[in-house]
Structure 1
Amino acid sequence: MRAELTVPPAVEAERVITAVLADLRSGGHRGVVVDSPPGAGKSTLVVRAAAELAATGDPLIIVAQTNEQVDDLVDRLARTAPELRIGRLSAADYRPSARVREHAGVRVAAKVADLGGPAVTIGTAAKWATVTEGRWPWAIVDEAYQMRSDALLRVAGRFERALFVGDPGQLDPFSTVETARWTGLTWDPMQSAVATLLRHNPDLPVHRLPVSWRLPATAAPLVAAAFYPFTGFRAGTGPTERALTLTEPGPGDPLDAALELAAASGWALYELPERHTPRTDAEAVTACADLALRALRRGAVARSEQAPGGAPVTAGRIAVGAAHRDQAAAIRARLGTAGADVTVDTANRLQGREYDLTIVLHPLSGRRDATAFHLETGRLCVLASRHRHACVVVARAGIPELLDAHPSTERVHLDVPVKFPDGWEAHQRVLAHLDALAVRPRRAAAPAA
C-alpha cells in the first residue's frame, strides 16, 4: 500500500493547498502552477486563494475561459466572502445571470473604470485581452491548460504575479485555422498557457492536487492510470461511501443489465455488434437515449457523503456525452420530452461539470479509422470523468482491433514536447478495463423479405 493512502484524503489535500498558498504569499516566484485531476476542488482552491489574497488589501484579477466559469466563480466567491466587493467584467451586451444578480456586493460593467475599484475583478480571457490600462499585484488564471499561450500573452501585462490552476488531462486548446506553421516554436500559440509558461520558466513551483472529490473509488484508479500515469491521484471517498440503487423493477433486458452492472461496479460497456456506421449511428444513438430514460424509469437513487440518506437521480443529474455536435443533437431528439432535462453535449462543453450518472458514446464507435481528433486523450478523459457514481460507455465492438490497425502516423516534430499518455494507449487501457464489464445485446433479427 502506498504510504500516502494511510493519510486521510482531506488531510493530504489540505497539505498541498497550504503549500500552494505559502508559495503565493512568499513572493519568491512570479508564478505558481497547480495541476488538478478531475473534481479535485480546483474552483474551491481558486476561491480560497482569491479570498486570502484580497484579505491582504491588494486587489487582484481572475481570468477564466468562459462566461459560465466567470459566473460560477463570482457566485462562489460572493458566497464564501460576502464582505468582498467583486467586479464582473463583461461584454457590453452581457445580461447578468440570476446567480450574479442575487449578490449585492457584485457590480457588473463593460469597463474596469466603471466597476468602482473592487477587491476582486473577474472576467474572461477574451475580455481581459481588450483591457489596455491598469496593472494588478495578483492574478489567478483558472482552467489555465485550456487557455492558449497567445491569450496569456495578451493579458500578461495586467498583473505582476499569478496563480495558474488547471487540469492537464482535459482537452487541449483548439483552433479552427491551420496551425502547422508554428509547430515546434517556443511561442507556438496553440500550446497551452501552462506549457509555454513552464517552457520559458522551468523553475516555477508546480503543485499537484492529490484527491478527486468527484470520482468514486471505482473510477479514480482507472482514470488516474489511463490519463495521469505520472502524477496519479486518489478518490476522496471509500468503496462503501457511495452507492447507486435502482429502486423500480425493469423488464430484465440488456439495458437493465448494463445499468445494474454500472450501479454495482461503477462502470459498464454496452457493446453493440461490430459494424461500420455513419457518425450518427442510429442504433448507438438509441442506446444512449434509452439508457438515460431507463435510469429515470427505474428510479435511480444515489447515496453519498453529500446525501447519506440517498437522493433521487433526476434528469438533471444525468448526462450523455459524445464527440460531435450532430451526435449530441441526434441523442437529444431521441430523448424527447421525457428526457428533456437530461444534459446532452460534447466533451468540449462538458468540461468542468459533474453528474451522478453519465452515458458516453465512445468517440471511435463504428469508425473505419482512428483520427487524431478521435484519439485525443483529453476528449476521452473528459467523457470518462464527469460522474460521481457510474458511467456506461456505448460502443460498437472492434475498437481495440481498429486501434491496432491504425497506429499513430503523425509526424514527429523537433522541439515539440512529447505528450503522455498518447491517445492510443489511453483508449486501449480504458477498453481493457471495460471488456470485463460488457453487456452485449444480440443484433435484432432482420425483417422477413
Structure 2
Amino acid sequence: MTLDALPPAEAAGRVVDAVLADLARDHRGVIVDSPPGAGKSTLVVRATAHLAAAGERMMIVAQTNEQVDDLIERIAAKHPDIEVGRLSASGYVPSERVLAAPSVKVAQKADDVAERPVVIATAAKWATLSEGSWPWAIVDEAYQMRSDMLLRIAGRFERALFVGDPGQLDPFSTVEVERWAGLSWDPMRSAVSVLLAHNPDLPVHRLPVSWRLPASAAPVVSRAFYPFTGFRAGTGPGDRRLEFGARGMGTAHDRALDEAAASGWALYELPARHTLRTDAEAVQATADLAVRLLQRGPVAHAEGGAAPVGPGRIAVGAAHRDQVAAIRDALGPDGAGITVDTANRLQGREYDVTVVLHPLSGRRDATAFHLEAGRLCVLASRHRHACVMVARAGIPELLDAHPSTEPVRLGVPVKFPDGWEANQSVLAHLAAHRVAAGS
C-alpha cells in the first residue's frame, strides 16, 4: 500500500520509523526532506532522544540562535532527562526559554559541556571550534546551510542526520558568487546538494504530510513549489475554520478577509502601476488589512478546539527590510504585537493568518531576487488558516515580459520549479479569490 493511501498520521509515522531505522544502519549520512509544517523539528527532537537512548553523543547544528533556542525548548519539554549543552558566543544572552530549562547548560567552550550527551549550537559557532568530535551530528535546516560551512565542521562528526526543507530559501550571500558556479564544491550550493553530489547513495526520506497548512493551502503550495515531491495536508476540508466575531461593513478590506476566511486565500489587488519599492499605497493596504483582521475578532477553529486569533498569531511578510519598516510604521498602535518581517526571518515560523506583500508588486522588472521560488514559498506557507496576498495588478504580464534568463552553467543542477513557473502557479490560483481595492 502506498503512503498516499494511508491516513496522514500513519503515512508520516512510517516515514519517521524508516528514518530512525536508517540511523541504526551503516550509513554515513541520512537525509530527510520536509515540506512546510511537516514536523521537521519534531523529527529532530525524536531523533535526538532515539540516539541518546542508544548511548550516543551528538552535536546538533542549527542556522540561527532562534532555531537553536527553539530546539532546546522542544527537547527540554519533551525529554527533560536529557542533559543539553548550549554553545554560544561571548555576547550571547540566554533567552527566557533557555533559562527555564534546568537540563540545559550554557557555555562558550566545548570543554565546559563535553560531558553532556547533546551539545547544540549554530553552524557559525561550530565552525570556530578547533578541537572536539562527536559520533553523531544532527543538522537542522540543512538546505539553508552553505556547503562551505558544512566543510568547516565536517571533521567534528562521523555520521549525520540532515533535515531540511528543499523548497525554502537557498543560502544567500552579499558578494558576487558567479566565480564558483559549476564547481563541485561551490560554497553557495546548499549543504545537502553538495553532499548528494559526492555521496549519491545516501538514503533520502521525504515527510509526506504538512500539519501546518490547511487542506485549502497544501495542494497549492505542493503544486507550485514541490512538483516532484508533493505532500498533502494532515487535515481535511472543514477541519479548520476561521470566523469573525464582528461582521464586515462591505468594504474591500472586509470582503478580502471574508474571502480568506471562506476559502483560505484572498488576493487584494491594487490598480496596476510601476512604483517605488516602498509603495505607499500597497504598504498602507497591507497594514490596514492586518489591523482590520484584529478589529473583527477572529476565532480559529482547529483540531484542538477554538481559540481567538490575537496579534501574536498574525504575521505580515514582505521581501525587503525597508518594506517591513514601512509596514510597521503604518500599523501604528492598533497593530501592536503583530509580527512584521522579511521572508528570510519568517522562515520556520507559524501563524494562524498571514498578510503578504507580493515580492513582484509594482515592479518594472522581475529580477532573480524577486523571482526566487523559495521567497514566495516561505511567504505563502506560514499560515494554519488563511493567507491574504496584497499586490498590484499586472504581475502575470510582468512575468510574461521577463521570462527566466538565468544562464545555464555546466555542473549546476537545474532547479525545479523555477520562480517564474512558481509565481504563475500561485497567481493562477489566487485569480479566483481576487478582490479589487476600492471596489
Task: Give the TM-score of the pair, scaled to structure 2.
Answer: 0.99
Separation of aligned partners in 1, 2:164 and 2:18 = 17
Quick one: distance in 2 between partners of 1:157 and 1:370? Answer: 41
Q: Which is further off, 128-137 or 199-208?
A: 128-137
**Amino acid across the alignment from 1:272:** L
Matching residue of 2:6: 7
Matching residue's letter, 1:108: V
* Other-structure match for 1:446: none
Give the fraction of aligned pairs with identical amino acids, expressed as a percent.
72
Partner of 1:436: helix, strand, or coil? helix
Match in the other structure for 1:151: 149
Deviation digits for residues 3-50 of structure 1, max 9, x if unmatched? Answer: 644411000000000000000111x21000000000000000000000
Secondary structure at the residue paired with 2:105?
strand
Whether the aligned pair in 2 keeps the contact of 1:273 and 1:442 (CA below 8 Å) is no
Aligned partner of 1:434 in structure 2 is 430
Alignment RMSD: 1.0
- Identify the match of residue 379 of structure 2 among 378, 383, 392: 383
2:389 maps to what in 1? Answer: 393
What secondary structure sits across from 2:398 in the alignment?
Answer: helix
**Aligned partner of 1:165 among 163, 166, 183:** 163
Q: Is the 8 A contact 2:168 2:374 kept in 1?
A: yes
- Of residues 219, 222, 232, the one that matches 1:221 is 219
Tell me the residue number matched to 1:316: 312
Kindly provide the CA deviation profile for residues 139-188 of structure 1, in whole angstroms up to 9, marking residues without a partner as x.
00000000000000000000000000000000000001111110000000
354, 357, 362: which is aligned to 1:361?
A: 357
Please show how residues 122-133 of structure 1 align to structure 2 within 5 Å. 122-133=120-131
Partner secondary structure for residue 258 of structure 1: helix
CA distance, structure 1, for counterparts of residue 396 and residue 48 of structure 2: 45
- Alpha-carbon shift at residue 425 of structure 1 (Å): 0.3
**Are 1:44 and 2:42 an aligned pair?**
yes
Matched, 1:230 2:228: yes
Match of 1:330 in 2: 326
How far does residue 109 in structure 1 lie from its aligned partner after superposition?
0.2
Residues 134-145 of structure 1: pairs in structure 2 closer than 5 A: 134-145=132-143
Match of 1:402 among 391, 395, 398: 398
**Equivalent of 2:92 in 90, 94, 97:** 94
Query: Does residue 269 of the first structure (1) align with residue 267 of the second (2)?
Result: yes
CA distance in 2, matches of 1:323, 1:187: 29
| Amino acid paired to 2:109 | K
1:204-237 CA distances to partner (integer Å, 9 max, x unpaired)? Answer: 0000000000000000000000000001000001
Letter in 2 for 1:202: P
SS at match of 1:336: helix
Q: Aligned to 1:290, what secondary structure does the other structure show?
A: helix
Specify the alignment match of 2:21 in structure 1: 22
Residue equivalent to 1:66: 64
Aligned to 1:348: 344
Q: Secondary structure at the match of 1:92?
A: coil
Contact 2:311 2:337 in 1 (8 A): yes
For 1:441 and 1:107, how far apart are their aligned partners in 2?
Answer: 53
Instruction: Could you tell me which runs of 5 or more consecutive residues in structure 2 were left unpaired when the two chains were aligned.
Output: none
> Partners in 2 of 1:55 and 1:3 — Cα distance?
31
1:370 aligns with 2:366: yes
Q: How does 1:167-246 map to 2 (within 5 A)?
A: 167-246=165-244
Whole-Å Cα distance in 2 between the matches of residues 337 and 214 of structure 1? 29
Can you list the C-alpha shifts for 1:318-374, whole angstroms capped at 9, x where unaligned? 000000000010000000011120000000000000100000100000000000000
- The one-letter code matched in structure 2 to 1:373 is F
User: Within 2, Cα distance between the matches of 1:64 and 1:109?
Assistant: 16
Quick one: distance in 2 between partners of 1:190 and 1:441?
41
Query: Secondary structure, in 3 states, of the residue corresponding to 1:155?
Result: helix
CA contact (8 A) 2:245 2:297 kept: yes
Q: Cα distance, 1:441 vs. partner?
A: 2.1
Deviation at 1:58, TM superposition (A): 1.6
> Stretches of 4+ moved more than 2 A in 1?
2-6
Alignment counterpart, residue 415 of structure 1, candidates 404, 411, 417: 411
- 2:13 partner amino acid: E
Shift in Å, 1:116: 4.8
- Partners of 2:262 and 2:28 lie apart in 1 by 48
- Residue of structure 2 in register with 1:285 after alignment: 283
Count of paired positions? 439
1 CA distance for matches of 2:341 and 2:100? Answer: 28
2:248–2:255: 8 Å Cα contact kept in structure 1?
no
What is the one-letter code of the residue matched to 2:198? H
Superposition deviation, residue 442 in structure 1: 3.5
Cα separation, 1, equivalents of 2:66 and 2:271: 39
Q: Deviations over 1:274-324 (max 9, x none)?
A: 001111111110111010111111001000012x1x111101110000000
Pairing partner for 2:33 from 35, 49, 54: 35
